Structure 1
Amino acid sequence: MPELPEVEATRRRLDAWLAGQPIVAVHVADASSVRTGLTSRPSDAVSDPAAATRPWIGTVAGTPLRRGKRLGLRIGSSGLLAHLGMSGKWIRRAPGDPVPKFGRIGLEVPGRVAWFVDPRRFGCVTVCPAEAIDGALATGLGPDALLELPDGPGLAARFAVKRPIKIALLEQDRLAGLGNIHAVEALWRARIHPDRRCDALTAAEWAALSSAIGAQMTFAIADLGEDD
């Protein structure tokens, strides 16, 4: 399941492919991929995805944004929010190429099409006014585990609970972006057992965990190569 490093790598690819480019076409291969919100349910699809995405055509894509595992992209006065779900990713194809396997929606700019592909269909995009994207990205989420990582005392304050630290690290309202894989890797780096209770960690361990999360995010992003 994509976590913060995978989503950040995706954001950087979309930045290279789309930012500053005019959207010349939107290809909706799966109507259920355009939903009323960031939901995992295909039944929450908008009634007319072509009409919903039509305002993007002829306008210029901005710089892709990310918070936690969410993506945002301003396109003129409109824009999109995206969540990769359990198996989603964005890939690049040439204009006129066949729809890629599991392709759901494609944004065409001169010379390329960025396709959202998702075998399991838990991911989606949703249309959002450009001025609302920042707020929508942040709603319900804690600080970003890469861009806004709290220091040791900050983590201790946010995780002042009696739950095991590994379980608490998955709660996106405390710290946005970690999932099972990178939470465990960060705890291993900090030499903290996943079952340790948050309220039992020492100040030194919180400091070590903050450093470990930052190191794991940086390492994992660097380890993700070009994927198109």
Structure 2
Amino acid sequence: MPELPEVETIKRDLGELVVGARVEDVEIPSPVLVEHPSREDFVRRLRGARAAGARRRAKHLIVDLDSGDALVLQLKIGGQLLLVPPVKEPATALMLVLRLEGGRSLFLRDETGFTRARLLDAGELERRFEDLGPEPLGDEFRPGYLREKLGGRRARIKGLLLDQKVVAGVGNIYVDEALFDARIHPTRKANTLTEDEWTRLQAAVKENLRAGIEHRGTTFSLYRDVLGRKGHHQDHLKVFVQAGKPCPGGCGGKVVKEKVGGRATFLCPACQPEDGSGEAVRLEFG
């Protein structure tokens, strides 16, 4: 599933390659794509509008239009937004086609069919995002935020970090990586974390998201950028999908896979003791 780094990469591509272009025509091959407004209004309001900007909120991709509307896409598990040309025109799993001036097109395809689109005015957009937590790379994610927000909670720390009302845009991949770097077991209750652990965890969340953006996202199967390229952060993951491999922390143990809150979870039991005891040696990973 595209998380913050993957959506941020697509947003930056759109800003460079698509912003400024006018939408000449709209095709909607998928009957389930558009959630708001009606299919007819969606086409009418998009056709003739110009892309004025691109941004991201949590895992939502937003294309601002010169009409004042915003096209909001949730790429869910397998959504791909591809610019044709230079990408070869896809023929399968199409959900939306935006014909742009100059002979180019944006193709939205999704083999899973879960991607959804909305066309919202300014008021609708504000209401859509009003319950989301702060952006983890923004100023509101200030030092001490996680401790202040979660320090009294008895719930498991992994589930709390995945809650988009707590912090926006962070998903399974980057939570597991951050918890490993902070040496915190995913099932630890938030109210058992120490001041030092909160500090390490908040820093690890930011560090891992920044690394994911630098590497243009993580591709296991479906994720692609606007030019159809895979990300390469998968080559830098320390524990996620690394079950059975030696722990990169040098503890001599191995990465294991568990299920936490119904989610596949990867960790090193030696570096991330379940009871919070002990202090593993912190290493800097490239």
Q: Same fold (TM over 0.5)?
A: yes
- Is 1:91 aligned with 2:82? yes
Counterpart amino acid of 1:23?
V
- Is 1:216 aligned with 2:214? no
- Is 1:32 aligned with 2:32? yes
**Structure of greater Rg:** 2
Number of aligned pairs?
216
Query: 1:104/1:22 Cα in 2 relative to 1: closer, same or farther (>3 Å)?
Result: same
Counterpart amino acid of 1:209?
L
Among the aligned pairs, what percent are the same residue?
29
Residue equivalent to 2:169: 177
Residue equivalent to 2:48: 58
Q: Secondary structure at the match of 2:26?
A: strand
Cα distance, 1:136 vs structure 2: 4.3
- Is 1:158 aligned with 2:149? yes
Residue equivalent to 1:186: 178
| Larger RCO, structure (CA 8 Å, separation 6 or more) | 1
- Contact 2:157 2:186 (8 Å CA) reproduced: yes
- Is 1:204 aligned with 2:196? yes
Query: 1:168/1:153 Cα in 2 relative to 1: closer, same or farther (>3 Å)?
Result: same
Query: 1:50/1:13 Cα in 2 relative to 1: closer, same or farther (>3 Å)?
Result: farther
Query: 1:13/1:125 Cα in 2 relative to 1: closer, same or farther (>3 Å)?
Result: same
Counterpart amino acid of 2:4?
L
Q: Deviations over 1:89-141 (max 9, x none)?
A: 2111139x755321210222224211211111221111112x23651452221
Cα distance, 1:186 vs structure 2: 0.9
CA separation in 2, counterparts of 1:18 and 1:189?
A: 37
Residue equivalent to 2:14: 14
Structure 1 residue corresponding to 2:96, chosen from 84, 105, 117: 105
Counterpart amino acid of 2:206?
G
Query: 1:111/1:127 Cα in 2 relative to 1: closer, same or farther (>3 Å)?
Result: same
Query: 1:10/1:98 Cα in 2 relative to 1: closer, same or farther (>3 Å)?
Result: closer
Unaligned runs of 5+ in 1: 37-45
Cα distance, 1:148 vs structure 2: 4.1
With the length of structure 2 as denominator, give the TM-score of the two structures.
0.69
Query: 1:151/1:51 Cα in 2 relative to 1: closer, same or farther (>3 Å)?
Result: closer
Residue equivalent to 1:43: none
Counterpart amino acid of 1:193?
H
Q: Deviations over 1:140-169 (max 9, x none)?
A: 210012234624421111113111111110
- Contact 2:53 2:65 (8 Å CA) reproduced: no
Cα distance, 1:216 vs structure 2: 0.4
The runs of at least 4 consecutive aligned structure 1 residues that moved more than 3 Å come to 97-100
CA separation in 2, counterparts of 1:138 and 1:53?
A: 23
With the length of structure 1 as denominator, give the TM-score of the two structures.
0.86
- Contact 1:152 1:203 (8 Å CA) reproduced: no
Query: 1:148/1:84 Cα in 2 relative to 1: closer, same or farther (>3 Å)?
Result: farther
Unaligned runs of 5+ in 2: 218-224, 229-286
Structure 1 residue corresponding to 2:112, chosen from 115, 120, 129: 120
Query: 1:222/1:100 Cα in 2 relative to 1: closer, same or farther (>3 Å)?
Result: farther
